[in-house]
Amino acid sequence: MHFYKRDDGRSKDEIKPEFNAFASENKGIFRIGAIDCKEFEELCNKESLSGLPTIRIYPTFPAPT
């Protein structure tokens, strides 16, 4: 999950190209999403993010298939 703030001036430029490339290369293998912390501030606060942009993998410790 990519947590970002649309208007912070960093999130869009720092991660977006790599995030989009990873999502395209792994389509059908992973579920990939993004959350705008300006729009969903309560959810981002609940996740205790130390800074933005942040990428998190869920479940935290995925079991091998």
pLDDT at 59: 75
pLDDT at 49: 92
Which ranges constitute the DSSP H helices of the chain? 11-14, 16-25, 41-46
3-state secondary structure of 30: strand
Whether 53 contacts 11, CB under 8 Å: yes
Domain boundaries, the chain: 2-55
Tell me the pLDDT of the chain (65 aa) as tens digits: 889 988 887 776 777 788 788 888 888 887 888 899 999 999 999 999 988 988 888 876 666 66
Give pTM, 2 decimals: 0.72
Written as one letter, the residue type at 64 is: P
